[in-house]
Amino acid sequence: MHLLIRSSLVVAVVTVAAAAVHAHEEHDHDLQMPLDYVKFPYQAVYPGDNEVTADSVFSGIATFAKLPWVQCLGKDKTVPFDIAFLGAPFDTGTSYRPGARFGPAGIRAGSRRLTLYGGYNVPLTVNPFLAGLKLVDCGDIPVTPYDNKVAIKQIEDGHKELLHRPTFSALGNDTTTGKPLVPISADGKHHPRIITLGGDHTIVLPLLRSIYSAYGQISVIHFDSHLDTWKPEVFGGAPSEQAAINHGTYFYWASQEGLIKNGSSIASFISSLSPHPLPIRHSKGLHGAIRTTLSGPADYANDDASGFQRIEAREIDTIGTDGIIKKIRETVGDKPVYLSIDIDSIDPAFAPATGTPETGGWSTRELRTILRGLDGLHIVSADIVEVAPAYDTNAELTTMAAADVLYEVLSVMAKTPLGKAVE
């Protein structure tokens, strides 16, 4: 009798196990999601006007601002989107403090409270999370830490694959004339926008190579305390061909490769060296927040030759944020523009966790004000770099600042489609 019962139990267990295996084989394991996870293409739930806020924002997996996680470079290769956040965990091109490979994870953690009270941006009068666009977090590009040449190619290929994906939303019509908008890209296609989480600043060279494939030569707005247009024989001495490409020379190489449109780029440099900042000319690149020391005046001459104009950090004391915004808009105009933000453009009092900190920078509030002043510009894609969480405070000052800066960029993007009215 006991043998019969035991035999029956064994048969039952085997039958159940076989059924479970069969069910598992029919079920795609990759489609399993964490509890309460909202799978794309459905947007994450964000509170609207007068709805419940401040509810468990600390729970769930860490994506940027709790956006849906989409494996854009994996099983979700066919999923369309309008704006994607993409990590580039690379820091083997840095010259001082490493650690920016952990920047993407840190920025995502710092963004958890972005929508604590809802996502409505009061100064820009927009909620970018409820603006009708499909926003996703694509995770990180797989980047090797052992070979910079391979890593740079991985970043270019990963970014390019997403850049050339169809958008989820159509361009629509011009709000003034009612006429259909046409893409502003060089290839005539409507491309999604990528916001890249660095990573050290070397990543911008492969990102601009990717941008070139869709937009051709591009205008650049660059917020940084350093020029990053140094000649390789000056910055680091170029001991090898690969070492010549680093976070202080990538704009030099981008200029040499013809990726930047000469005459319309701005770099906000915060520099305390020259008592007489150079006047703005018709350049295609602009540096903002520059305050670096130099090897000598030849560095500025080389920067001029690379096609950049400069706004020094200390100019904010004389012309204010309004004057800086005016210079940027006059330089870039209505052309397509790429935006690159080094977290060290912010003073280390507000953002200490970075690879090459420089005192005398802008406050987080000042940079956010200037970014809001870019409202209406055609920002095709953007990045924030040099966030190295290991040097941050326990209060996560730097990662929160980085997330808030990207919130302003996202808001500007949400308000301005990448199209122009048909003549």
DSSP string covering 348-406: TTT---BSS--SS-B-HHHHHHHHHTTTT--EEEEEEE-B-GGGS-TT-HHHHHHHHHH
pLDDT value at residue 32: 45
- What are the residues whose beta carbons fall under 8 Å from the beta carbon of 210, sequence distance 6 or more? 156, 159, 160, 163
pLDDT category at 265 given cuts 50, 70, 90 is low
Q: Which is higher by pLDDT, 174 or 406?
A: 406
Helix, strand or coil, per DSSP, at residue 316: helix
Q: Which helix (H) or strand (E) holds 310?
A: strand 308-312
Q: Is 275 left (phi over 0), alpha (psi -120 to 50) or beta?
A: alpha
pLDDT of residue 75: 95
β-bridge mates for residue 420, sequence order: 182
| 198: nearest Cα among 267, 151, 161 | 151
What is the distance between the alpha carbons of residues 255 and 235, in angstroms, rounded to a whole number? Answer: 16
Whole-Å CA distances, 101 to 198, 230, 242, 297, 410: 7, 23, 19, 33, 22
149 and 244 in contact (C-beta within 8 Å)?
A: no
Res 118: pLDDT:
87
Pick among 3.40.800.10, 3.40.30.10, 3.40.50.300, 3.40.50.2300: CATH of 64-266+281-421: 3.40.800.10
* DSSP3 helix / strand / coil % (the chain, rounded to 5): 35, 15, 50
Peptide bond into 199 cis (omega under 30): yes
Whether the predicted pLDDT of 125 surpasses 90: yes
Q: Return the pLDDT at 30.
A: 47
Structure-model confidence comparison of residues 67 and 276, the more confident one: 67
Whole-number pLDDT of residue 384: 98
323-350 tens-digit pLDDT: 999 999 999 988 999 999 999 999 999 9
Point out the least confidently predicted range of 262-266, 285-289, 329-333, 375-379.
262-266
- pLDDT tens for residues 402-418? 999 999 999 999 999 99
Could you tell me the pTM of the whole model? 0.85
Rg from Cα positions in the chain? 24
Asked whether residue 276 carries a pLDDT value surpassing 60, the answer given is no
pLDDT of residue 261: 86
Nearest to 91 by CA among 347, 385, 399: 385
Confidence of residue 183 (pLDDT cuts 50, 70, 90): very high
187-200 mean pLDDT = 97
Mean residue pLDDT across the chain: 87
pLDDT at 372: 98
pLDDT tens figures, 12-63: 444 444 444 444 444 444 444 444 444 444 445 677 787 776 676 777 889 9
* Tokens 């003034």 belong to residue: 176
Asked if pLDDT for residue 270 goes beyond 50, the answer is no
Ranges of each domain in the chain: 64-266+281-421
Q: What is the pLDDT of residue 264?
A: 58
The pLDDT assigned to 54 comes to: 67
pLDDT of residue 131: 95
Neighbours of 257 (CB within 10 A): 12
Q: Which residues contact 161 (CB under 8 A, 6 or more apart)?
A: 72, 73, 77
**Under 8 Å between Cβ of 218 and 260:** yes
DSSP helix/strand/coil, 416 = coil
